[in-house]
């Protein structure tokens, strides 16, 4: 169980670039249990960053080293949270929620009227998504495949943004 630790200061959130791919892979290695098959490969991360509408946001400490990130794509008035992760030792301090809030704010600023995300069933982050206003709208059976051959459903969530006017 991850112990809640107060954070003396919120981390700096900054835009990432293709030069940050090694950092996000390192964070995924720390944050995602390989049992669930949620992490992307280095080539998947590097391949999506140059695409139109894709934004990488990093949470960095005083030493400027990234310890959390979110990856999103906004297109045709909708945004999708593709990945979000915080290094295991930094979890439970509100950093994931800060990244999630930035994703929503960036999507709204880009004119999105709807934001989407997908998460493995039983992922502890589901509570954070619900508290941020996301509502479950679907389920994809056996979407995630763990290294041991086990399968896990993906839950899809949506939030409507007040960008209609």
Catalytic residues: 118, 129
Q: Give the 3-state secondary structure of residue 13.
A: strand
Helices and strands, number each (H, E), in the chain = 4, 7
DSSP state of 45: H
Q: Which has the closest alpha carbon to 110: 47, 48, 54?
A: 54
User: How many C-beta atoms lie closer than 10 Å to residue 59's C-beta?
Assistant: 25
- Which residues have C-beta within 8 Å of that of residue 151, sequence separation ≥ 6? 142, 143, 144, 145
Question: Which phi and psi (to 5°) does residue 64 adopt?
Answer: 70, 5
Q: Give the 3-state secondary structure of residue 144.
A: strand
């Amino acid at each position: 169980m991850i112990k809640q630790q107060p954070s003396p200061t919120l981390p700096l959130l900054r835009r990432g670039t293709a030069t940050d791919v090694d950092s996000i892979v390192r964070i995924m290695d720390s944050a995602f249990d390989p049992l669930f098959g949620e992490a992307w490969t280095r080539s998947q991360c590097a391949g999506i960053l140059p695409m139109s509408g894709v934004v990488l946001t990093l949470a960095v400490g005083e030493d400027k080293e990234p310890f959390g990130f979110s990856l999103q794509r906004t297109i045709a008035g909708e945004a999708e949270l593709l990945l979000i992760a915080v290094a295991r030792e930094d979890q439970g301090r509100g950093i994931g929620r800060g990244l999630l809030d930035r994703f929503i704010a960036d999507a709204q600023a880009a004119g999105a009227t709807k934001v989407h995300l997908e998460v493995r069933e039983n992922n502890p982050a589901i509570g954070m998504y619900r508290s941020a206003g996301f509502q479950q709208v679907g389920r994809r059976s056996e979407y995630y495949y763990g290294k041991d051959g086990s399968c896990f459903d993906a839950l899809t969530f949506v939030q409507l943004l007040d960008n209609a006017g």
